[in-house]
Chain A
Amino acid sequence: MDAKKVARYGLLTALALVLSWLESLLPSPGIPGVKLGLANLVVVFALYRAGWLPAVVLSLVRVLLVSFLFGNGVSLAYSLSGAVLSLAVMIPLKASGKFSETGVCTAGGVAHNAGQLIAAVVLLGTTRLSYYLPVLCVSGTFAGAAIGLAAAELIRRVPDRF
């Protein structure tokens, strides 16, 4: 990896951290797992501009740093589960070429929420959280679509050499 690449990934990671921090300042809607996922903007940007491996590394580094800075072991498990499932859905969907950034990101948003719910089921030792599924599905869809539209704009507008 040359110095330019290192600098670029450092910048993207910093941007993802700032977005995570901004999101933590927003009022929470009162349902566990419901989030806008602002930092996903940067992950999707990296996925389209640099490929799946940089996107995975960026996403994992972000989750680890955010948990170190603002969270704890429990929040790390939730974020990690959400981030991993989201990437596991977005990478093949993007590769299929059937969806635009909006579709890829929408599926990623829903997968992120599903991942958090799965973490809750495992960590809390209860499977009776099905009541949250519809709400998490709807919120994941809208949040994902919004982030996807924004990401598409970013990917189009940020100069190619970046």
Chain B
Amino acid sequence: MALKGTRRNDIKLIAGLLLAAGILALFLHFTRTAGGSVRIEQDGVTTAVLPLHEDTRRTIEAESGTNVLVIQDGAAWVEEADCRDKICVRQGAIRYTGQSIVCLPHQLVITIENGADTPFDAQTH
């Protein structure tokens, strides 16, 4: 039964991929640490690094368009953008080291960086 064999392999493949994703997600979940700063990169170049624990609102302007970044209560999110897909807005808030918000149309990456060892943490309180 050739069909049965390929069916079984299909299911093994799907299960394997989901398992790999699950393990990776768990790994990322348990190794996550609260972030300390927010790095803003446009076209691969860092344009600013902001402390995550200072509430602020910043308009990121580039030739390609504008994104409004809000940092509040230790989290960062894009509140507004004039890109066509608005994916950056819908990605919601990020707060853990390594998390990022990407706006592909604007070539913009906002990443949370270094957690406990950041000097910004102690200064703000």
Interface residues of A (CB under 8 A from B): 28, 30-32, 74-75, 78, 97-100, 102-103, 106-107, 110, 120, 123-126, 128-131, 133-135, 137-138, 140-141, 145
B20 interfacial by beta-carbon distance below 8 Å:
yes
Contacting B90 at CB < 8 Å: which of A30, A133, A135? Answer: A30
Contacts A99-B13, A124-B41, A124-B109 known; A31 to B18 CB distance under 8 Å? no
Q: Chain B residues with Cβ under 8 A from A102's Cβ? A: 10
What's the minimum C-beta distance from A32 to chain B, rounded to whole angstroms? 5
Interface residues of B (CB under 8 A from A): 3, 5-7, 9-10, 13-14, 17-18, 20-22, 24-25, 28, 41, 43-45, 85-87, 90-92, 98-100, 102, 104-105, 107, 109, 111
Contacts A106-B17, A125-B41 known; A100 to B102 CB distance under 8 Å? no
Instruction: With CB as the reference atom, state the residue of chain B lying closest to A145.
Output: B14
What's the minimum C-beta distance from A96 to chain B, rounded to whole angstroms? 9
What's the minimum C-beta distance from B112 to chain A, rounded to whole angstroms? 9
Cβ B9 vs Cβ A141 within 8 A: no
Q: Chain B residues with Cβ under 8 A from A135's Cβ? A: 21, 25
Contacts A126-B44, A138-B21 known; A100 to B28 CB distance under 8 Å? no
| 9 residue pairs bridging A and B, Cβ less than 8 Å apart | A28-B85, A99-B6, A99-B10, A125-B41, A125-B44, A126-B100, A128-B111, A134-B28, A137-B24
Cβ B91 vs Cβ A30 within 8 A: yes
Sample of 4 further A-B pairs with CB below 8 A, known A103-B6, A131-B28: A74-B104, A107-B13, A126-B41, A129-B102
Contacts A125-B41, A134-B22, A134-B24 known; A141 to B17 CB distance under 8 Å? yes
Closest 9 CB pairs of A and B: A125-B44, A30-B90, A103-B10, A137-B21, A134-B25, A100-B6, A134-B21, A141-B17, A138-B21
Instruction: With CB as the reference atom, state the residue of chain B lying closest to A34.
Output: B87
Contacting B107 at CB < 8 Å: which of A124, A128, A137, A140? Answer: A124
What's the minimum C-beta distance from B16 to chain A, rounded to whole angstroms? 9
Q: Chain A residues with Cβ under 8 A from B41's Cβ? A: 124-126
Q: In the bound complex, what is the Cα–Cα distance between A123 and B45 (angstroms)?
A: 11
Q: Chain B residues with Cβ under 8 A from A106's Cβ? A: 10, 13-14, 17
Cβ B100 vs Cβ A128 within 8 A: yes
What's the minimum C-beta distance from A120 to chain B, rounded to whole angstroms? 7
What's the minimum C-beta distance from B29 to chain A, rounded to whole angstroms? 9
Cβ B87 vs Cβ A30 within 8 A: yes
Q: Chain A residues with Cβ under 8 A from B111's Cβ? A: 126, 128
Cβ B28 vs Cβ A130 within 8 A: yes
Q: Chain B residues with Cβ under 8 A from A134's Cβ? A: 21-22, 24-25, 28
